[in-house]
Amino acid sequence: MTKSRIAAIDVGNDSIKAIFGELEYELNIPNIIARDTEDRPVIGIEELDSKDPLDGIHIKVHSPALKENNIIYRVGNLATKSNNTTELDPGSSKSEEDQTLIMLFASLAMDAVKAEFPRTKNIIDANYTLGTGLPLREVKEGKDAGYRSRLLGNVHQVEFLVTPKYQGIKVNIKFNEVKVYPEGFAAYINLVMDNNLKVINKDLIDKRILIQDIGGLSTDIAVIKNRNVDDDKAQGFNLGVSESLEMIREEIRKKHGVELDSRRDVVEIITKKNDRNHIMVKGSRTSVHDITDRILLDLAKKQYRLLRNVWSKNSQTEICYFVGGGSIILKEYLKALNNGLDGFNIDFFEDEKESIWMMSNAYYKLITDFVRKTEKQRAAQDKAPVKS
């Protein structure tokens, strides 16, 4: 039997954050795809294998789980160079979009070529135990069951086409098990527990906490009480940062004539350490502060309104943690609003990587714990005396 490899994957709207095996490999791929042809033009084809595979993911994906099958895609960094890029739209359901699965399969295939799976010539048979998640709203609507069933019991194939180092390799992906966790619950696990699910933050364990996870397409507010997520009070909203990033991108194009490739370019402009909120226009450093401030402050006000409404229904809350990529973008605006208005006890993660990788870290903790318990049960059953 093929040994199953652990994979913890957060399919975020901005990017995929994935952790594999014994924490030995992690991937961060922009969540952007573009349809393509089989023989994409490459300048200097003989130098293809000297390039980074992550910059040239060019694949054909076959899966019964997809609505559109056997399609060729550029993925991640390579897709940003296309003029027909696709990013997830506001209001869409992550669990029902082909793009979610394409990014999931692509990241697994990128790991499988490095891992020790059985290989026959150019075909790799990969088996994974997957921990992943969906927005709270989709889990409450029961969409996690359908998402899980589409992954389990099927073989999903990724064929690398004109991809550095991996050209011609096919990866057959099977799942031994798939666990789909609500994103808010995962954030709580990551806050209070280590990789062995031992409590590391005793100050938080019995507090009443809100966790506001601001993503690209949605916002989840988990209500934590008695060490559990209160499913009835936890809420998911169709409000993320993507729409605002698109508005910034469009206004920059109209005002300055600068075409940004993707939302990720906008994120870089508003979060970079030096020259924040500046772009180059015809070689001159130009401020776009007026555009970013107006649009992001408006979004921060909407996010603050969500916090106020949920807090009012959970008046004994002691602290709210803002997590996710969106919280990094809106942090200063939310702090300023809070200082001038209600003065709630709110906190952010100063370590930006910790905030961005929070979900995938949590999925890793949860799926490894599941594997440990399963192996323990199997060992106990093997030792049990056989009844005659």
- Amino acid occupying residue 93: S
Give the closest residue to 325 by CA, choosing from 4, 15, 70. 15
Give the containing element (helix H, strand E) for 381.
helix 358-383
- Looking at residue 217, what is its pLDDT? 80
- Please answer whether residues 324 and 357 qualify as being in contact, where contact means their C-beta atoms are separated by less than 8 angstroms: no
User: What is the spatial distance between Cα 212 and Cα 320, in angstroms, rounded to a whole number?
Assistant: 7
Which SS3 state, helix, strand or coil, does residue 166 take? coil
Burial class of residue 77 (count of CB atoms within 10 Å of its CB; 0-12, 13-18, 19+):
middle
Q: Which amino acid is at 204?
A: L
Class of domain 206-356: alpha beta
What is the predicted pLDDT for the residue at 298?
96
Most confident of 43-47, 175-179, 183-187, 227-231: 175-179
Among candidates 174, 11, 22, 182, which has minimal Cα distance to 107?
A: 11
- The phi and psi torsions of 210 (rounded to 5 degrees) equal -110, 140
Is pLDDT above 70 for 315?
yes
Q: Which residues are 214's β-sheet partners?
A: 219
pLDDT per residue as tens digits for the range 234-284: 788 888 898 899 999 999 999 999 988 778 889 889 988 788 889 899 889
pLDDT of residue 92: 73
Q: In the chain, where are the structural domains located?
A: 5-181, 206-356
The conformational region for residue 70 under phi > 0 = left, psi -120 to 50 = alpha, else beta, is left
Q: Which residues pair with 119 in a beta bridge?
A: 124
Q: How confident is the model over 85-100, as a mean pLDDT? A: 81
DSSP lists the bridge partners of residue 236 as 220
Select from 77, 43, 37 the least CA-distant residue to 59. Answer: 37
| Span 309-321, average pLDDT | 92
Mean pLDDT of the chain: 87
**pTM, full prediction:** 0.85
Contact (CB, 8 A) for 210 and 130: no
In this chain, the answer to whether the domains covering 5-181 and 206-356 adopt an identical fold is yes
Which residue has better confidence, 81 or 301?
A: 301
Lowest mean pLDDT of 59-63, 123-127, 222-226, 312-316, name the range. 222-226
> Which class for 219: exposed (0-12), middle (13-18), buried (19 or more C-beta within 10 A)?
buried
CATH fourth-level superfamily of 5-181: ATPase, nucleotide binding domain (3.30.420.40)
Per-position DSSP letters for 269-307, written without gaps between them: HHH-SSSTTEEEETTEEEE-HHHHHHHHHHHHHHHHHHH
CA distance 329 to 241: 8
pLDDT number for residue 387: 60
The answer on pLDDT for 201 being more than 80 is: no
